[in-house]
Amino acid sequence: MAGFVEMLGARVLGMLTMSGQIVFLFQDVMRCLFRYPIRFNLLAKQIDFIGAKSVGVVIITGGFIGAVFAAQCEFQFKRLGMSSAVGPVVAIAMCRELGPVLCALMIAGRVGSAMAAELATMKITEQIDALRALAVYPTEYLIVPRFLAMLISLPILVALAIICGIGAGYFVAVHVLEVPGVYYWNNTQKFVGDKDISIGVVKGLLFSIIILLVSCNKGLQSSQGAEGVGLATTEAVVDAFICVLIANFFFTFLLNALL
Amino acid sequence: MADSSISTKPLVRIVGVEKKLGRQQVLRGVNLEIREGERMVIIGRSGGGKSVLLKHIIALMQPDAGEIWFRERNLVGLNEEELVPLRKDTGMLFQNGALFDSLSVGENVAFPLREKGVRDEKLIRAEVERALKIVDLPGQGHKWPADLSGGMRKRVALARAAIAKPALMLYDEPTSGLDPVVSDSINKLMVRLGDELKMTSVIVTHDMVSAREVGDRIAMLYEGKIYCVDQPDVVLTSKDPIVYRFVNGISDASDAVF
């Protein structure tokens, strides 16, 4: 029993410590944003890595999720004679939930892990100390360009995932499962509004901050050599996934009330 | 070795510095003055806190107690941003080079110049090539750190640390892992940088040949304190049993592990 309490206490303390570190990192990033000039060469490099190189993954994820979701909806709705509702259901789900969440998870897996591994390696090989010794503030040089690149890239990727999902859903429903195309499209336009699209894009923006802070914090706090790099990478992905999923629950209510 | 170019004025003053890492008390009240223009060699056993002390000098680590003065400024308690302008006047050669993997060799060496605001690409290229030539790596700027051997990485790191001509250079085991010829060239380079650019140097090393060739003074760190500080001839010929055993590489019974 004592061992369990001890373990639970350690977990809670660990979570509180991580939360504190993330808050301080966010504060530091915000301060650096207004204090130092933006390094556009590093920003462009990060946009290429985070944004441009993720396009393929996001198209595949968004497209296939939209296609599968449309097929499942059609299978169920057909029995109720509601096939004409497939379009709006797919579009709303893609805009509000599937697009932003799945895109964020893909980016957390692809980009978050890479960022954590790179920063952790830089830490254990003293490259971060070398930056400091060369009179460069690490947050400004390493984190700010990644932060801005995530803020720019993820909402665009989310929009792309939504478009691909809706497009693939349309294709499967209309051309494969023979739902009348006019109903599909008219109902989609009728029930999907600016609010749905805004919720998706704003969620993408908020998820980008979460993924960046969790991943970078894991990288910067790593230790124990090569083992520490592996651990930081794994924990960055797992923690980013969990944080995105939990935050999504609260953002859903919040954004629904605000927008 | 001591010459007239060395001022009596200290550039760095370490006063009563203590540091605990985990459960180990690494530094136990270190006091040391490093004068402007001198090359101070710090020797001591592995794991004895030499690198930790070196990192304290440019505040890469903060002490648990004590003061570290660089010029007229106490570095203890300053935050990272307050330290940035002070570090523009210092350079450090890390034990494993600590080259930036994402930059080519040339970009690594050019890094301090760019950070100092130099924008003339022609000038940067010329300075980088000159620095690489000095460390015996001419025309290697296009390579990547991953393509270099340990010795080459260290020499590139030396070129990077020295290119901006800092007032204070810190060397963490500059000759470890290098063959005797390259070690000798690094020793000569450290002397040259000190003499020509009036750089103050602090060199942490186990290499007694290097210590003799490079040092104006040698300080021995023993059990977390400065055990002795004197000119190389005096320290390296000392009859004090602790100094003698270290300098001549003689272990005692307590050193036997197996």
Q: What is the signed CA dihedral for A62, A68, A70, A73, rounded to 10 degrees?
A: -140
CA A221/CA A232 separation, integer angstroms: 8
Task: Answer whether A217's CB lies under 8 Å from A29's CB.
Answer: no
Q: Which residue has the tokens 């060699």?
A: B41
- The CA-based angle B133-B138-B144, given to 5 degrees, is 120
Q: Which DSSP string corresponds to A60-118? A: HHHHHHHHHHHHHHHHHHHHHT-GGGHHHHHHHHIIIIIHHHHHHHHHIIIIIHHHHHH
* pLDDT < 50: residue spans in chain A: none
Nearest of B169, B171, B175 to residue B209 by alpha carbon: B175
| Helix/strand/coil for B171 | strand
Q: Do A126 and B88 touch (CB under 8 A)?
A: no
Q: Do B87 and A134 touch (CB under 8 A)?
A: yes
A178 CB near a chain B CB, below 8 Å?
no
What type of residue sits at position B94? Answer: F
| Percentage of chain B modeled with pLDDT above 70 | 95
CA B74/CA B237 separation, integer angstroms: 35
Bridge partners of residue B28, in order along the sequence: B18
Q: Does the pLDDT at position B251 exceed 80? A: no
Q: Do A137 and B88 touch (CB under 8 A)?
A: no
Average pLDDT over residues B214-239: 93
pLDDT at site B159: 92
Interface A–B counts its CB contacts (< 8 A) at 54
Average pLDDT over residues B62-69: 95
Q: Which residue has the tokens 């206490």?
A: A9
Q: Do A130 and B98 touch (CB under 8 A)?
A: yes
B107 pLDDT band (50/70/90 cuts)?
Answer: very high
**Chain A contact probe: residue of B94, B114, B172, B173 with most A CBs at under 10 A:** B94
Q: Does the pLDDT at position B1 exceed 50? A: no
**Chain A contact probe: residue of B51, B52, B56, B60 with most A CBs at under 10 A:** B60
| Helix/strand/coil for B202 | strand
Question: pLDDT tens for residues B144-186?
Answer: 999 998 888 988 999 999 898 899 999 999 988 788 888 888 8
pLDDT at site B2: 45
| Helix/strand/coil for B67 | strand
Nearest of A42, A36, A34 to residue A118 by alpha carbon: A42
| Percentage of chain B modeled with pLDDT above 90 | 61
B68 pLDDT band (50/70/90 cuts)?
Answer: very high
Task: Answer whether B208's CB lies under 8 Å from B175's CB.
Answer: no
- Secondary structure (H, E, C), B88-116: CCEEEECCCCCCCCCCCHHHHHHHHHHHC
What type of residue sits at position B48? Answer: G
Bridge partners of residue B204, in order along the sequence: B42, B172
**Chain A contact probe: residue of B52, B92, B173 with most A CBs at under 10 A:** B92
Average pLDDT over residues B105-125: 94
| Helix/strand/coil for B192 | helix
Q: Does the pLDDT at position B50 exceed 90? A: yes
Question: pLDDT tens for residues A202-218?
Answer: 999 999 999 999 999 99
Scanning every residue of chain A, which has its alpha carbon at the shortest distance from the alpha carbon of B93?
A130
pLDDT at site B80: 87
Nearest of A7, A237, A143 to residue B80 by alpha carbon: A143
Q: Which DSSP string corresponds to A118-183? A: HHHHHHHTTHHHHHHHTT--HIIIIIHHHHHHHHHHHHHHHHHHHHHHHHHHHIIIIIIS---HHH
pLDDT at site A106: 95
Task: Answer whether B71's CB lies under 8 Å from B15's CB.
Answer: no
Q: Which residue has the tokens 């993330």?
A: A22
CA A102/CA A173 separation, integer angstroms: 21
Q: Which pTM does this prediction carry?
A: 0.88
Contacts of A257 (CB under 8 A, 6+ apart): none
pLDDT at site B254: 58
Question: What ranges in B143-206 are assigned the alpha helix state H?
Answer: 150-162, 180-197
pLDDT at site A99: 95
